[in-house]
Amino acid sequence: MKKKSIANRLSLRIMAVLIALSAVIMITVYVITKDSMAREAESRYEGIILHANEKIRGVLSDVYVAAINNVNIIERDIDDPDKLQAHLERMVSQNMYMSSCRLIFEPDVYPEKGHEFEICAWRDSGEMVRGRQMNENHPDFQIHSWYKDAFKSSEGDWTPPYFDREASRQLTTTYATHIHDRSGRKVGMLGADVSLEWLRQRHQRVDAENHERFEKGFKEQSYSFIIDNDGSYLIHPDESRVLKKKFQEITAQSPDTLDDVVARKMLQGESGSCRLQNDGIDSWMFYSFVKYAEWTVVIVVPEAIIYHNGNMLAAIILAVLFIGLSIVYMLCHHFIKKSMRPLRRFVVAAGRVAKGQFDVQLPEVKSREIDALRSAFKDMQISLIDYEKATASKAAMEQELKIASDIQQQMLPKVYPPFPERTDIDIYGEVVTAKMVGGDLFDFFIRNEKLFFCIGDVAGKGAPAALVMAMAHSMFRSASMAYASPKLIIEYINRSVCEGNDSCMFVTFFIGVLDLANGRLLYTNAGHEPPVLVREGYTRFLYVDNNIPLGLKSDWEYTEQKAFIDRGTTLLLYTDGHTEAETVSNEQYGRNRMRQEASRLAHRRLDSRSFIKAIQQAEQTFVGDTPQGDDISLLAINYKGKTDMKHYHRGFSLVNEVQEVSALAVFMRSVCEDMHFNELTTAGVNIAIEEAVVNVINYAYPKGSRANILLEVMADEEKITFKLCDDGMPFDPTSVKNKDVAQPIEKSNVGGLGIYLIRHYMDSISYQRIDGQNVLTMTKNL
């Protein structure tokens, strides 16, 4: 989905708030003004009917007053009927609303004039007042009910409107009052006619005015009408209804009952307004009762007109709001967009920075927020420039380290098998460096039928460690050319490493010199991990003295140890990266697991490469994918030896513990097999050697001290010689007096049995003390 711009989102939100706000205002204003507008329209129409009411009352009142006033004048001249005509004519001419008037006398009031006597005056179409006397051929007013009722009545009154066929030929109402003779007897009636034509025209005009002024464009328009006190229409736009229909008859036809109620109210002389359905249109009806005449003036206004102004107002407000909000939206959008413009320039700048142009000119800004962004951007630029420099130098350094690493790897033996022409030795080594340049090293070479080998671990990693390692390595090579003693070699390296070693960098180191002819091993260990002797059925750590690592004390005297590596034995050398490899939960692989794994592998009689790979695999299976922080070096030296019966020469070394005797037994069995000894001789030779060795174990050393005891076996065609060497306290077992076995042995006193057994099973024994060593030589003739 495409994201909206900030300008868009912000403007829309502002708009939403504004729209909500204005909607509330608009609804409030609409509700208030709609009512007041309606009220205004209502009062307008009320005013119209009130005005009509007043007008009718005024006109009728004028006519009434004129009639009353003329009654006296007429009665004064009652005896002179010829004067009366002039009075009537003056009355009509003086009163513009009076269309005509007449005097109707009872029969035989003026016998000289005939049985009947009636005179009248009227205004003709030319506004001329005319008069006439009618005797016998006048309309027979006297028999009409309205005349009879008026005559009977004690006072004058208005007649119901009627259509005057005689005089004006218009809808007319007449004020009829009595004429008395001098004796006060009622002799006739004076009738003052008011034509309702003017009223009809007035209504037409008012309606037309309303239509013109207030109701233009409306489908339904207002109209007014007048009904008299029995509901008959006097004035109505539909002329056919006049005097023919009654209001209550019309209302009774509609299903609505509301208008019937209104009709009743009108007939009872009430005024007011109501809302109802008129000919299916929602309308307001305003009605006003006219006193004296007892008519009701009515105006019917469609509701749409009443509410028109209010609705118009609402529409105008809505339109204004819409236009206003549109303008606000456009302005908001414009201003926000304008204030966001620097951001776009920042985007461009950032794009350039991303392409590597770190010193790009940043846009100038005005607002505080954007300025904060600009400062942050500026800082980032500076950091990037610094970082670029650092990265460049780091890359250069890494390149150099890569070269150093290559050089270092070239220093280590890397062609396997290293001595393809030899069958007596099988070597394989491998370094896995944790950082690109490591501090681990190993090396080996053969000089004068002696295998010189070493393994070392420089404390620390990376370039400094690699430099020390490279130095130690070259020292090992050069010293090994000069010396055959690991002690001398290691002391030589130590002195070199100590020189100028201000940073106290130290190296753990193990150097061995293996005589390939007989398996004799000379070794010196400088604080390194003890190697493992791996042999089927007999796998253990090589006993090493506790010498300090190289590089700490230049004058330290390192001890040199001797051991024999029997043929078929693998010497496993390693650095602590292997044994201290950790799992995710920081559990170390450990020496014990490694020794057990080596012991298990011993039975498979693998070549050195497969052996190292299997050892690595076991450790990796244990630690899983956990990345290791230290270099890991592994070196396996499998001494196969030679079986040369003419110059038979083998050796075995063991630590001064009685448990080692079982390993000795394995070695002795192998020797006896080489010699083809029978069972009895094998047992005898075994016993002799065990007795000699146990003797050394038990008595040559103080309790708790450890040492290597060496057993060397040499044979020729005539005899087999066993040479047992130890560096314990001087002791000559040959000096022990021979035991007389014929004598019963008392109690547990079996001392001297051992030397007795040696003497018994060997043909000769001799003791020498050479270079601080006890050397016991035992010979058996073949």
Is 694 a residue that touches another protein (CB under 8 A)? Answer: yes
Q: How far apart are CA 14 and CA 12, in angstroms?
A: 5
In the complex, the smallest distance separating the C-beta of residue 750 from another protein, rounded to whole angstroms, is 5
Which one of the spans 140-148, 636-644, 742-750, 774-782 is the region binding another protein (CB under 8 A)? Answer: 742-750
Q: What's the closest the beta carbon of residue 653 comes to another protein, in angstroms?
A: 16
Of positions 683, 730, 734, 769, contacts another protein by CB under 8 A: 683
**Contact with another protein (CB under 8 A) among 421, 744, 771, 772:** 744
Question: Under 8 Å CB-to-CB from 571, ≥6 apart: which residues?
Answer: 512, 514, 521, 531, 532, 533, 534, 542, 565, 636, 637, 638, 639
Among left, alpha and beta (phi > 0; psi -120 to 50; other), residue 631 is: beta
Which of 691, 725, 762, 776 touches another protein (CB under 8 A)?
A: 691
Nearest approach, Cβ of residue 754 and another protein (Å): 5
Residue 704 is classified by DSSP as T
The burial class, CB within 10 Å (0-12 / 13-18 / 19+), for 97 is middle
Q: Please choose, out of 72-80, 203-211, 440-448, 690-698, the segment that lies near another protein by the rule CB under 8 A.
A: 690-698
φ, ψ dihedrals at 368, nearest 5°: -65, -40
Q: Is 304 in the site for another protein (CB under 8 A)?
A: no
Q: Is 137 in the site for another protein (CB under 8 A)?
A: no
Residues numbered 609-668 forming contacts with another protein, rule: CB under 8 A:
658-662, 665
DSSP string, 375-398: HHHHHHHHHHHHHHHHHHHHHHHH
**Position 259 contacts another protein (CB under 8 A):** no
Nearest alpha-carbon partner for 551 in 526, 531, 574, 576: 526
d(CA 104, CA 106): 7
Residue number, 429 or 754, with CB nearest to another protein: 754
DSSP secondary structure code for residue 232 in this structure: B
Q: Would you count residue 584 as binding another protein (CB under 8 A)?
A: no
- Please count the residues of this chain forming the interface with another protein, following the rule CB under 8 A: 32
Nearer to another protein, 627 or 744 (CB): 744
Q: Which amino acid is at 180?
A: H
Looking at the Cβ atoms of 201 and 659, the one nearer to another protein is: 659
Q: Is 728 in the site for another protein (CB under 8 A)?
A: no
**CB nearer another protein, residue 261 or residue 745:** 745
What 410-415 contacts at long range (C-beta under 8 Å, 24+ apart), as own/partner pairs, is 411/441, 411/443, 411/470, 411/473, 411/474, 412/441, 412/442, 412/443, 413/442, 413/443, 413/444
User: Which residues, including other chains, have CB under 8 Å from residue 674's CB and lie 6 or more apart?
Assistant: 643, 645, 648, 715
Closest CB to another protein among residues 2, 747: 747
Member of 143, 748, 770, 771 binding another protein (CB under 8 A): 748
CA 638 to chain centre: 63
- The yes or no reply on residue 747 touching another protein (CB under 8 A) is yes
Between 378 and 669, CB nearer to another protein: 669
Contact 278, 285 (CB under 8 A): yes
For another protein, the closer CB: 133 or 682: 682
| The token pair that represents 263 in the structure block | 């009709």
Q: How far apart are CA 576 and CA 582, in angstroms?
A: 11
Could you tell me whether strands 719-726 and 708-715 are parallel, antiparallel, or unpaired per DSSP bridges?
A: antiparallel
Q: By C-alpha distance, which of 692, 37, 88 is closest to 313? A: 37
Among 259-267, 311-319, 427-435, 681-689, the segment contacting another protein (CB under 8 A): 681-689
User: Is residue 686 within the footprint of another protein (CB under 8 A)?
Assistant: yes
3-state SS class at 272: strand
Exposed e or buried b per residue across 302-317, where buried means at least 16 C-beta atoms within 10 angstroms of its C-beta: bbbbbbbbbeebbeeb
Q: Taking the CB of residue 131, how many other CB atoms lie within 10 A of it?
A: 18
Rounded to a whole number of angstroms, the minimum distance from the CB of residue 690 to another protein is 5
Amino acid at 546: N
Q: Does 704 bind another protein (CB under 8 A)?
A: no
Among 687, 714, 736, 775, binds another protein (CB under 8 A): 687
Contact of 365 with 371, CB cutoff 8 Å: yes
CB nearer to another protein: pick between 195 and 539 = 539
Q: Which amino acid belongs to residue 292?
A: Y
Instruction: State the binding string over 752-781 for another protein (x if CB under 8 A, else -).
Output: -xx-xx--xx--------------------
Cβ atoms of residues 88 and 67 within 8 Å: no
- Cβ closer to another protein: 295 or 761? 761
d(CA 281, CA 456): 113
Contact between 539 and another protein by CB under 8 A: the answer reads no
| Residue span binding another protein (CB under 8 A) among the ranges 189-197, 632-640, 726-734, 746-754 | 746-754
Asked if residue 128 binds another protein (CB under 8 A), the reply is no
Give the residue, chosen from 354, 742, 772, 781, that forms a contact with another protein under the rule CB under 8 A: 742
Instruction: Name which of 548 and 666 has its Cβ closer to another protein.
Output: 666
Q: Does 726 bind another protein (CB under 8 A)?
A: no
415 binds another protein, rule: CB under 8 A: no
Applying CB under 8 A, which of residues 743, 771, 772, 781 lies at the interface with another protein?
Answer: 743
Q: Let me know how many helices (H) and strands (E) the chain has, helices first.
A: 17, 27
Rounded to a whole number of angstroms, the minimum distance from the CB of residue 697 to another protein is 7
734 forms part of the interface with another protein (CB under 8 A)? no
Tell me if 188 contacts another protein by CB under 8 A: no
Interacting residue with another protein among 395, 750, 763, 769 (CB under 8 A): 750
Binding site for another protein (CB under 8 A): 658-662, 665, 679-680, 682-684, 686-687, 690-691, 693-694, 697, 741-745, 747-748, 750, 753-754, 756-757, 760-761
